[in-house]
Amino acid sequence: MSDIENKKSLRVLHFSDIHVGIQIRHMGWKRWFSKRAVGAINLLRGRARYFDEVEEKIAAIVRLKEEQNIDLVINTGDYTALGLETELELAKSFVEPLMTPPQRYLTVPGNHDIYVHEGNSHYRFSEQFCSVLQNDLPEYCRGGHWPLVRLVGENVAVVAVNSSRPNPWPWRSDGEIPSEQLEALSEILADARVKDRFVFIITHYAPRLANGEPDKKLHGLINADAFLERCKVLQKGAILFGHIHKTYQIDMKGLSVPLICAGSATMEGHEGLWIYEVEERVLRSKQMKWNGSAYVSAHP
Ligand SMILES: [Fe+2]
Ligand SMILES: [Fe+2]
């Protein structure tokens, strides 16, 4: 483990939406119901082929972490296609090398990880990722593990809020941050242990698209405006997310911190991720792309 306390700068790798899927023939017939059946048919139609080389690409991310001396890894969800237990297990086995030490890996579930409305869908994600869900300020928890706060060295904090929930209807894939979590977010940002740090706020859903507009109602973060309003007090930090399979960074009027979407690290033709460096509470972000065998700078 790098000695973060004494380091002048912190290096962060942010990736998302790897969408590990099992082959359709491995799915038990009992699984073919409700939303999952529609998801499965979409996969059969050809979406799955865009994620054919997931394992190879994640292996490249593991190499990148070493080569780039990464101190902290952030994943903003959508590990799977259908939220099946087998997919979560497989995805976890791929990313496990990135989860050491566990206190230097931060994550939230994506909507695909809790795909159908089942009593245990959140539990299944937590079960797989429990080793990296430790919370340095658990007194702010307002449901499950969230918000989750990690204090990193002396100068950086990560606050993870959960915006994913099971969607009862197949044509809907919208998200919402529960109001209790938004209230807790404000309290966390005002906490003396957090407020003078550089703060990464992470969630799955995109509060804004690459053009600065809100996402479509049935696909977006329903309470994006309320979320961004709460983020306005933040002077040094960044808001990180995925869900949109496009890698982008935007600034917004009234916000001191950038909005950064990791896109999908593995979707063929769209692969992207970010490497950040935080030094004296200043962020430098470097967009990376896939060149067929490795992730390289998108703007050399
Ligand atoms: Fe996704
Ligand atoms: Fe998503």
Report the alpha-carbon distance of residue 238 to residue 32 in Å, rounded. Answer: 40
Residue 1: band (very low, low, confident or very high) from pLDDT cuts 50, 70, 90: very low
Spans of all domains in the chain: 4-297
CB atoms within 10 A of CB 42: 14
Give the mean pLDDT of 173-197: 97
Distance (angstroms) between ligand 1 centre and the Cα of 251 equals: 22
Distance (angstroms) between ligand 1 centre and the Cα of 265 equals: 10
Distance (angstroms) between ligand 2 centre and the Cα of 283 equals: 26
Distance (angstroms) between ligand 1 centre and the Cα of 139 equals: 30
- Over residues 189-226, the pLDDT tens digits come to 999 999 999 999 999 999 999 999 999 999 999 999 99
Distance (angstroms) between ligand 1 centre and the Cα of 15 equals: 11
Q: Are residues 112 and 19 in contact, defined by beta-carbon separation less than 8 angstroms?
A: yes
Least distant ligand from the CA of 81:
1
Name the nearest CA neighbour of 238 among 267, 205, 254, 260.
260
Distance (angstroms) between ligand 2 centre and the Cα of 146 equals: 18
Least distant ligand from the CA of 109:
2
What local confidence, expressed as pLDDT, does residue 168 receive? 74
Least distant ligand from the CA of 204:
2
- Over residues 29-82, the pLDDT tens digits come to 555 566 666 676 666 656 667 777 899 999 999 999 999 999 999 999 999 988
**Which residues are found with C-beta within 5 Å of the ion, ligand 1?**
17, 78
Distance (angstroms) between ligand 1 centre and the Cα of 1 equals: 30
Report the alpha-carbon distance of residue 300 to residue 213 in Å, rounded. Answer: 28
Name the nearest CA neighbour of 220 among 178, 177, 263.
177
Q: Are residues 50 and 82 in contact, defined by beta-carbon separation less than 8 angstroms?
A: no
Strands 259-261 and 237-241: parallel
Pick the CATH number of 4-297 from 3.40.50.970, 3.60.21.10, 3.30.1310.10, 3.40.50.300: 3.60.21.10
